[in-house]
Amino acid sequence: MNNESKKNVLITGAAGGIGCVAALAFAKKGCNVVINYKTSKEKAEALADEINAMGVKALCIRADVSNRSEVNSMFDRIDKELGSIDILINNAGIAQQKMFCDITEDDFDSMFNITVKGAFNCTQAALSGMIHKKRGKIINISSMWGVCGASCEVHYSAAKAALIGMTKALARELAPSNIQVNCIAPGVIDTPMNVSLGEDTLNLLRQESPMGRFGTPEEVAALMTFLACGESDFITGQIIGIDGSFI
């Protein structure tokens, strides 16, 4: 991805398993990386130190993506220190397993605020620079459960499905501006977030997988860097599963 050198990428929720690996992958391609986090300050700062040591620039910025004023402040700092964002990865999200009747209004609001409103806020903030330059890449991170739905994860599935709808509609709207919008729908990926499912559930999911294993954050990051490179310019509005044929 040599033609992507010195481009600026913002990854929301970058201190998590997939986000952290993606940040390193883009840095290895020569991109400057903005590491957004909400609570994992130490992990985010350690990641920034690692990226800065690679010879590209890393900014570590705390912002709740569901809060518009915090997102605006984050982009103000990015503009001053790096310039406009070329590649936006809407990765921030939360997971929760609950029976539908036990989901509270706060559970539902938190899920949609972080996953959907966060992507909305960051995308709107990034678009002015992209439209001005007539180029840009937006990659939303959904889930295979946003495609087929998951029992005991109705609000999670619904929020991830909303990202899919946002991707398809926005891709059509932004195509004349040469901005590509795509969505990645990972299956079960070997990250710390999935440890909370418990060993019995993980073993069952592994047995149900046609490939007999989980995906890796590195495999998801490789798909991100491809969708962010110039060779993928005619790919837009697509929902790309990376689930080992689980669904």
Q: Can you give the three-state secondary structure of 8-22, one letter per residue?
A: EEEECCCCCHHHHHH
CB 90 within 8 A of CB 119: yes
Q: Give which of 117, 239, 129, 242 is closest to 181, Cα–Cα.
A: 239
Q: Give which of 84, 187, 188 is closest to 136, Cα–Cα.
A: 84
Q: Which of 26, 37, 156, 214 is catalytic?
A: 156
- Going edge to edge, which strands form the sheet with 32-37? 58-62, 32-37, 8-11, 87-90, 136-141, 179-186, 239-242
What's the CA gap between 46 and 52, in Å, rounded? Answer: 10
User: Mind giving me the DSSP string for 47-112?
Assistant: HHHHHHTTTS-EEEEE--TT-HHHHHHHHHHHHHHT-S-SEEEE---------GGG--HHHHHHHH
| Residue 156 annotated among the catalytic residues of the structure | yes
CB 245 within 8 A of CB 143: no
* Catalytic residue ranges: 156
